[in-house]
Amino acid sequence: MFTDKVDLKDFEKQDPEYQDLLRRVLAIQADCEIGGPNLYVKDILPNAPTKLDQLIVARTAAEEMDHFRKMARLAGDIGVDVSYTLSRPNQERYVEAFRGQITTWEDYAVFGFLIDRVGRFQLEEFLGCTYLPLARVVEDPDIIREEEGHVDFGTNATAEFAAKGGESKERIQKAIDYWYVKGLDMFGNSKSYRSERYMFWGLKRRPNAVARQQYKDEIDALILKMGLTLPDPNKGRLYT
């Protein structure tokens, strides 16, 4: 197990596998950060239920853009230009959850509740990691606090829809059914060799399956508390 702490000046001295994995994870993280706003800004910013909601959508997008900026900077500093992630179509995003378009407020709420929560889990993977510039970014309280803000907004909005009952509850259940498996899939394959290598190099803390199970335990409890039904965790899954 690799336990050294690596700063930018020593990056090129590292094992090629370490360099490749770091380049890869930063490109994916940047793509995911900008992938969120690309899903919802177009339709949700003009059509959010209230002006307050519109401003919240704009502020959320700005915070995700700032997370993108930080990841793009880390990637750029080690020679990876991730500007292509700004112009690519959603269908070409690294992660399947970012390949569509969010057109309803229910989907926007559940996206915050479930998918931004995966984002928080992914950022937490880098806490204390061996690449110091990345560890510093995620250990800055702003980035996790902002992500938690998005998660809380989505969780509260989802709970409000569920509490209304009737058609509102049905619509939010439909959104839960759609995003639930996408969230589980975002943790990747449980038997991923690459995941083991990330852990070996101290770039991630948990195996995919462990992080996914922790996430699932957290969201299942919340979904049930809202009086909603747990979707089949295996239906439509790309990775197990």
Binding residues for other proteins, rule: CB under 8 A, are: 8-9, 11-12, 37-38, 41-42, 45-46, 51-52, 54-55, 58-59, 61-62, 65-66, 68-69, 72-73, 75-81, 83, 86-88
Structure tokens at 105: 């407020």
Contact 154, 105 (CB under 8 A): no
Comparison of 15 and 232: residue with beta carbon closer to other proteins: 15
Comparison of 149 and 236: residue with beta carbon closer to other proteins: 149
Structure tokens at 1: 């197990």
Comparison of 28 and 181: residue with beta carbon closer to other proteins: 28
Comparison of 145 and 191: residue with beta carbon closer to other proteins: 145
> Rounded to the nearest 10 degrees, how much is the dihedral formed by the CA atoms of 125, 18, 95, 92?
150
Closest approach, Cβ 134 to other proteins, in A, equals 15
Q: Is 227 left (phi over 0), alpha (psi -120 to 50) or beta?
A: left
Closest approach, Cβ 163 to other proteins, in A, equals 24
Closest approach, Cβ 69 to other proteins, in A, equals 4
Angle at 120 between CA 140 and CA 223, to 5 degrees: 145
Closest approach, Cβ 88 to other proteins, in A, equals 8
